[in-house]
Amino acid sequence: MEIKSSLPPIISHPLLQLSAPAKINWFLSVLGKREDGYHNISSLMQCVSIYDNLTFEQADTMEVVCDLEDIPPGDNLVYKAASLLRQYTSYKKGAKIALHKNIPVSAGLGGGSSDAAYTLSGLNRIWGLGLSNEELSTLGAEIGSDVPFFLNCSFAFVEGKGEKITPLKLNNPAIVLLLVKPSISVSTAWAYAYFDKLNIGELTKKTVDIKLFCQAFLNRDLASLSATLNNDLEKVVIERYPVIGEIKEKLSKNGAIISSMTGSGPTVFGVFESKKAALTAAEKLGFNNWCRVVETIL
């Protein structure tokens, strides 16, 4: 399999085009380290309206092209997903996959995992493999803990190392968010390892009452949401990167009702009453940071 780092070619007759969304963690509780080296978590995850774009075309060989040179070939999860699926199914032909990145890497937004999930789904369709979502999720879990989430839903309570997924359906309107990422990247592996180092024998046992959280979410009771909003990785990441704490303060000063770091960071999201208010805040915070106004997806 070959992977290149270049601008995606113009594919005149694509078989399939997919948009892979980012996600945020409304809360993230780290419940302890597992024997397999992963951590058990409890989290509420939701997709948001910023997308990487993938284009698939049948080909005799496997080729992946990406417009972001910062992604080393060995870390490209599209490559890993395609390779794993081809090996699992013994599929003889290949595909040309063009990846256009809009979601920043190592940002806590799940962009790589989403790309991997949509690669598995897209290839399953254009190759006519007929694999179930359960099979794809099992394969996806070998690539990354968040991949099964993106294969199954856009809003869910996630447990275990990420493989236990309870989809949630709430008919509330979309919530406006401002995503702010400073000019740093945070490795998920580093964040969990540093969490372990700083919490030896003192791992957090805090859990969130998911029913109460969803009720507050449905009623747009942001005061109650603020009291429950928690990311166990936030404190340790801020200790190493104080700029994340500074961004949270600036979001509050510029109209955010609540704010939190998502995933292993460094992206922080702020909740706003309106798109106009979020755009105004983005003008204030966008000088040294990557900023995007998005909405939640149900």
Place of tokens 């024997």: 35
CA distance 215 to 187: 33
Shared-domain flag, residues 160 and 181: no
The length of the chain in residues reads 298
- pLDDT over 80 (residue 58): yes
For 145, the token pair is 């803990």
Helical pair 111-126 and 77-89, crossing angle rounded to 10 deg: 40
Residue 267: pLDDT over 90: yes
Q: Chain-wide mean pLDDT for the chain? A: 89
132 in the same domain as 193: no
Among 136, 167, 198, the domain boundary falls at 167
Per-residue pLDDT tens digits for 78-126:
999 999 999 999 999 999 999 999 999 999 999 999 999 999 999 999 9
The residues, ordered by sequence, that sit 6+ positions from 278 with a Cβ below 8 Å of its Cβ are 176, 177, 178, 255, 270, 272, 293
Task: Please check whether residues 138 and 237 belong to one and the same domain.
Answer: no
Check residue 100 and give its pLDDT.
95
Neighbours of 217 (CB within 10 A): 23
Q: Are 115 and 252 within one domain?
A: no
Residues 133, 231 within the same domain: no
For residues 49 and 100, membership in a common domain is answered with yes
Residue 253 is a catalytic residue = no
* Segment holding 23, helix H or strand E: strand 16-33
Q: Is the pLDDT of residue 202 over 90?
A: no
Residue 289 structural domain? 176-295
Q: What is the pTM of this model?
A: 0.91
Is residue 73 scored above 90 in pLDDT? Answer: no
- The count of domains in the chain is 2
* CATH number of 271's domain: 3.30.70.890
pLDDT at 273: 92
Are residue 116 and residue 212 in the same domain, yes or no? Answer: no
Span of 123-132, 173-182, 207-216 with lowest mean pLDDT = 207-216
Q: Are residues 187 and 148 in the same domain?
A: no
Q: Among the three residues 130, 147, 167, which one is the final residue of a domain in this structure?
A: 167
Q: Say if residue 72 is preceded by a cis peptide, omega within 30 of 0.
A: no
> Which of these is catalytic: 52, 146, 181, 250?
146
- Predicted pLDDT of residue 12: 45
Angle between helices 232-240 and 188-198 (to 10 degrees): 100
On the question of pLDDT at 10 being above 80, the answer is no
What does the pLDDT read at residue 218? Answer: 78
Distance of CA 96 to the CA centre of its chain: 24
Residue 206 has a pLDDT of: 59
Q: Taking residues 140-163, what's their average pLDDT? A: 95
Of residues 23, 101, 248, 250, which has the active-site annotation? 23
pLDDT of residue 144: 93
- Is 146 labeled as catalytic in the residue annotation? yes
Say whether both 160 and 192 belong to one domain. no
Quick one: 151 and 256 in the same domain?
no
Distance CA 65, CA 80 (A): 13
Tell me what pLDDT residue 43 has: 93
Same domain for 6 and 106, yes or no, is: yes
Q: What mean pLDDT comes out for the span 203-211?
A: 64
- Specify whether 163 is located in the same domain as 194: no
pLDDT of residue 254 exceeding 70: yes
Q: Give the pLDDT confidence score for residue 110 in this predicted structure.
A: 97
Cα separations in angstroms, 194 against 77, 102, 207, 212, 268: 24, 28, 21, 31, 19
Which of 149, 167, 185 lies at the terminal end of a domain, its last residue?
167
Q: How far is CA 64 from CA 69, 73, 100, 143, 265, in A?
A: 13, 10, 11, 17, 27
